[in-house]
Amino acid sequence: MVKKVLKFGGTSVGTTERIQHVANIIKKERSLGNQVIAVVSAMAGKTNELVKLSNEISDEFDKREFDVLLSSGEQVTCALLSGALNNLKVKARSWLSWQIPILTDGGHSNARIINIHVEKINKYLNEDEVVIIPGFQGISKNGDITTIGRGGSDATAVAIAKIFNADSCEIYTDVDGVYSTDPNKIPVAKKINKISYDEMLELSSLGAKVMQSSAVQTALMYDIPLEVKSTFSNRKGTKIFSQENIDYTKSVTGVAYSKDDAKITIIGVNDKPGVAANIFEPLSKSQINVDMVIQNISSDQKTTDITFTVKRNDILKTKEILKNNRQIAYKKIIHNDKVAKISIVGAGMVSTPGVTYKMFRALSDENINILAISTSEIKLSVIIEEDMTLKAIKKLHTIFDLD
Ligand code: ASP
Ligand code: MG
């Protein structure tokens, strides 16, 4: 008996017609004899709507009640999907996280799934029932409803696949799979048939929004193969699994970009031991994530410039912390928030010499100035002026044979 976890995202269940369509997909799986655990998101836009309602009540809406509120979107989808299946004469029941239970720790809004009880659910699966479970929600040790972070239904699906020892975990969404770059911006973007966890992780944390990156991280950790596919077409999706099973003919698998970065330069800081630590320690204490760091050579041996990038919405906080930092002296601070981060990702990069130079040359051919650089084994990112984004992606996509 094959046990499948099928996860349906917000747009896949965005209307009652779509929920009926999803019910038909599940019905087909059942007619093939497969056991199905369906994990569902809230209907598209619902969670944002709920956030808005809480804001209308208060800027400091109670955390516990915020989770009760936000998790309700998934509850609606569960009931509607179960009803749609029953209407198709398919046995199905919804189970909310506290009924199963799905246990979490780590407080509210950003809780982590630590365990899921399987006995009851397995019993229903063995009785030929489809089990429908809300993504995104859990229950704390104290019995409070929790949520596990925006986009968290992916993480729920992966955790369920792991704990129930499922044969497959299929992420149904509104695109056919993972693309070599954003298909809405670059029409020649191609669907990737197979990709490793590591590459997927880089792509999803670099702005390719197909899957939540913490869910991919869990899949990598426990080696749970995933498949991303479209709810609206029968085309084959993208398989995500461990690197050994992939044979790389190309050095670069995909080009990602994000427009939520900002660059800060501190001009004229002292060039002596401890300065960098004094700059970055207070930032990290305030949960500000610093991405790239560059320190210029000091020309006078006394002072230097340090440039780094942070998320765009952290820029004001970052400048404030720097200004209040009595442990550093500098001439001035400048920033640029009209920047974008462009990254090439590929497990094949490790074994292909010259990828770095090829990327830099391509950008220079297009007259694009590189403002900062960072690298990892399978990724190369640069910061450029935001209005050059499209030009850069197009060029890189072409020179790395992805068109
Ligand atoms: N409904 C939640 C959100 O919008 C969780 C999810 O869709 O994955 O963030
Ligand atoms: Mg989602």
- Please indicate, yes or no, if residue 141 is contained in any of the structural domains: yes
Residue pair 147/71 in contact (Cβ under 8 Å)? The answer is yes
Local mean pLDDT, 10-residue blocks, the chain (403 residues): 97 98 98 98 98 97 98 98 98 98 94 96 98 98 96 97 97 93 88 93 81 92 95 94 79 91 93 91 93 82 90 94 93 94 91 90 96 90 95 96 92
- Please indicate, yes or no, if residue 392 is contained in any of the structural domains: no
**41 CA: nearest ligand 1 atom:** 7
- What does the alpha-carbon distance between residue 382 and residue 180 come to, in Å, rounded to a whole number? 17
Q: Is any ligand 1 atom within 6 A of the Cβ of residue 152?
A: yes
Residue 255 φ then ψ, to 5°:
-120, 120
- What does the alpha-carbon distance between residue 21 and residue 189 come to, in Å, rounded to a whole number? 28
Q: Is any ligand 1 atom within 6 A of the Cβ of residue 153?
A: yes
The predicted-structure confidence for 349-376, as pLDDT tens digits, reads as follows 888 889 999 999 999 999 999 999 988 8
- Please indicate, yes or no, if residue 100 is contained in any of the structural domains: yes
161 C-beta neighbours (distance < 10 Å), count: 26
Query: Which residues make beta-bridge pairs with 381?
Result: 343, 374
Q: Which domain holds residue 31?
A: 3-174
pLDDT computed for residue 182 by the predictor: 87
- Please indicate, yes or no, if residue 145 is contained in any of the structural domains: yes
- Please indicate, yes or no, if residue 327 is contained in any of the structural domains: no
What is the 3-state composition of the chain as percent helix, strand, coil, each rounded to the nearest 5? 35, 25, 35
> How many structural domains are present in the chain?
1
- What does the alpha-carbon distance between residue 245 and residue 117 come to, in Å, rounded to a whole number? 32
- Please indicate, yes or no, if residue 29 is contained in any of the structural domains: yes
- What does the alpha-carbon distance between residue 347 and residue 371 come to, in Å, rounded to a whole number? 25
Residue pair 30/130 in contact (Cβ under 8 Å)? The answer is yes
- Mutation probe of ligand 1 site: the residue of 7, 12, 13, 41 with most atoms within 8 A of C-beta: 41
- Among 322, 267, 268, smallest CA distance to 290 is for 322
The predicted-structure confidence for 291-329, as pLDDT tens digits, reads as follows 899 888 777 778 999 999 999 999 999 999 999 999 999
Compute the distance from residue 155 Cα to the ligand 1 centre, in Å.
Answer: 10
Residue 346 φ then ψ, to 5°:
-175, 130
pLDDT computed for residue 47 by the predictor: 98
Instruction: List all residues 6 or more positions away from 103 whose beta carbon is below 8 Å from its beta carbon.
Output: 113, 114, 115, 116, 117, 138, 139, 140, 141
Q: How many Å separate Cα 272 from the centre of its chain?
A: 38
pLDDT computed for residue 249 by the predictor: 77
State how beta strands 303-311 and 293-295 pair.
Answer: antiparallel
Spatial strand order of the sheet with 238-241 comes to 92-94, 130-134, 35-40, 3-8, 168-173, 226-230, 238-241, 194-196
pLDDT computed for residue 269 by the predictor: 92
Compute the distance from residue 76 Cα to the ligand 1 centre, in Å.
Answer: 13
Q: Is any ligand 1 atom within 6 A of the Cβ of residue 150?
A: yes
pLDDT computed for residue 272 by the predictor: 85
Residue 350 φ then ψ, to 5°:
-55, -40
- Please indicate, yes or no, if residue 22 is contained in any of the structural domains: yes
The CATH number of the domain where 135 resides is what? 3.40.1160.10
**152 CA: nearest ligand 1 atom:** 8
**9 CA: nearest ligand 1 atom:** 7
Compute the distance from residue 154 Cα to the ligand 2 centre, in Å.
Answer: 7
pLDDT computed for residue 192 by the predictor: 92
- Among 68, 156, 150, 144, smallest CA distance to 106 is for 144
pLDDT computed for residue 240 by the predictor: 95
Residue pair 345/306 in contact (Cβ under 8 Å)? The answer is no
6 C-beta neighbours (distance < 10 Å), count: 27
- Please indicate, yes or no, if residue 181 is contained in any of the structural domains: no
Q: Is any ligand 1 atom within 6 A of the Cβ of residue 269?
A: no
According to the 3-state scheme, what is the secondary structure of 175-239? CCCCECCCCCCCCCCCECCEEEHHHHHHHHHCCCCCCCHHHHHHHHHHCCCEEEEECCCCCCCEE
pLDDT computed for residue 154 by the predictor: 97
Compute the distance from residue 151 Cα to the ligand 1 centre, in Å.
Answer: 4
Instruction: List all residues 6 or more positions away from 403 whose beta carbon is below 8 Å from its beta carbon.
Output: 188, 190, 397
